[in-house]
């Protein structure tokens, strides 16, 4: 990455405009999911947004990364329910779906409002998660194997979230989130309270062992990764980035959608003005 950069602060862009008449809501990128849910509930006690469970998440990043939550098994991801977006390009032009085509990334998002889940749907989701934690597809007790081969569960842990039913009925190309045929999403976590380098190395080594140990149980060619669980170990852009560099991690995050995202990026940000360590590269870089 270049030494010179500008950080865009979305924290003041927190507007939420709920339209009950057409079951939609405009939300600015800096609003949290908690603020989004609160504003919707001010207008309706029977509608909500199919999005995440953590209310402190920013709506912009959550939706553009896919946005999973407890309602996804019935309504899909937050991105699947987005019907329009407004973005500002590097020339200061405001673009929307009509001018861009079917693109859901932007500074303002307009999700569709949905009826909340029934209690039985939530229970079914929790039961499916519990069943997988007990037994893998190969009949091995995955949790016990990890503890025996990697170390105590008090060190690295993994969190399983179901990703099926409604989600698997949605085509991969409809938005950047491509993981439509997997049963679960895995989040690998290691935490420690002190700053001693020796302890840090121990925990990082433990999470790497766990990640490697899970190879027989996860997707492959490529091993898929969720973009909202940003992982710089998969690769990073050098300076402005290139298609070749970006492919190392881009195909893991987006699979076949990566090429389409590069084409969109090249068309609407040809100078690569908006970039970071794992931003989508442009074709000419």
**Residue 70 clears pLDDT 70, i.e. is over it:** yes
The DSSP annotation for 249-276 comes to HHHHHHTTHHHHHHHHHHHH-TT--S--
pLDDT digits (tens, 9 = 90+) for 3-62: 677 888 898 999 999 999 999 999 999 999 999 999 999 999 889 899 998 999 999 999
- Of residues 129 and 28, which shows the higher confidence score? 28
Which domains are assigned to the chain?
16-114 (3.30.465.10), 119-217 (3.40.462.20)
Average pLDDT, the chain: 79
What is the rounded distance in angstroms from the CA atom of residue 119 to the CA atom of residue 122?
5
- Of residues 280 and 180, which shows the higher confidence score? 280
**Residue 132 clears pLDDT 50, i.e. is over it:** no
18 φ, ψ (degrees, to nearest 5)? -95, 130
Total-model pTM: 0.79
- Which letter, b or e, does each residue of 14-41 get, where b requires 16 or more Cβ atoms within 10 Å of its Cβ? bebebeeeeebbbbbbbbbbebbbebbe
Inter-axis angle of helices 243-254 and 257-268, nearest 10: 130
Min mean pLDDT across 60-64, 138-142, 217-221 is at 138-142
pLDDT for 107: 37
Inter-axis angle of helices 197-213 and 142-149, nearest 10: 140
């Amino acid at each position: 990455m270049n030494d010179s950069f500008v950080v865009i602060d979305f924290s003041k862009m927190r507007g939420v405009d709920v339209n009950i008449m057409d079951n939609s809501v405009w939300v600015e990128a800096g609003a949290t999911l908690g603020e989004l849910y609160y504003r919707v509930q001010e207008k309706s006690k029977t509608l909500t947004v199919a999005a995440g469970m953590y209310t402190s998440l920013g709506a912009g990043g959550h939706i553009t990364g896919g946005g999973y939550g407890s309602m996804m098994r019935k309504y899909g991801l937050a991105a699947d329910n987005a019907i329009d977006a407004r973005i500002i390009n590097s020339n200061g032009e405001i673009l929307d779906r009509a001018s861009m085509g079917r693109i859901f990334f932007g500074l303002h998002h307009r999700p569709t409002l949905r009826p909340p889940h029934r209690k039985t749907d939530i229970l079914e989701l929790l039961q499916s998660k519990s069943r997988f934690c007990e037994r893998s597809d190969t009949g091995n007790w995955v949790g016990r194997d990890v503890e025996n081969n990697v170390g105590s569960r008090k060190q690295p842990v993994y969190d399983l979230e179901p990703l099926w039913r409604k989600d698997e009925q949605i085509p991969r190309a409809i938005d950047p989130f491509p993981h439509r045929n997997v049963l679960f999403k895995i989040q690998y976590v290691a935490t420690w309270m002190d700053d001693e380098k020796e302890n840090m190395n121990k925990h990082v080594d433990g999470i790497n062992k766990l990640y490697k140990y899970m190879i027989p149980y996860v997707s492959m060619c490529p091993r898929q990764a969720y973009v909202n669980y940003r992982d710089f170990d998969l690769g990073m852009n050098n300076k402005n980035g290139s298609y070749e560099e970006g492919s190392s991690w881009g195909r893991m995050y987006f699979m076949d959608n990566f090429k389409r995202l590069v084409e969109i990026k090249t068309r609407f940000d040809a100078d690569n003005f908006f970039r970071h360590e794992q931003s989508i590269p442009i074709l000419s870089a």
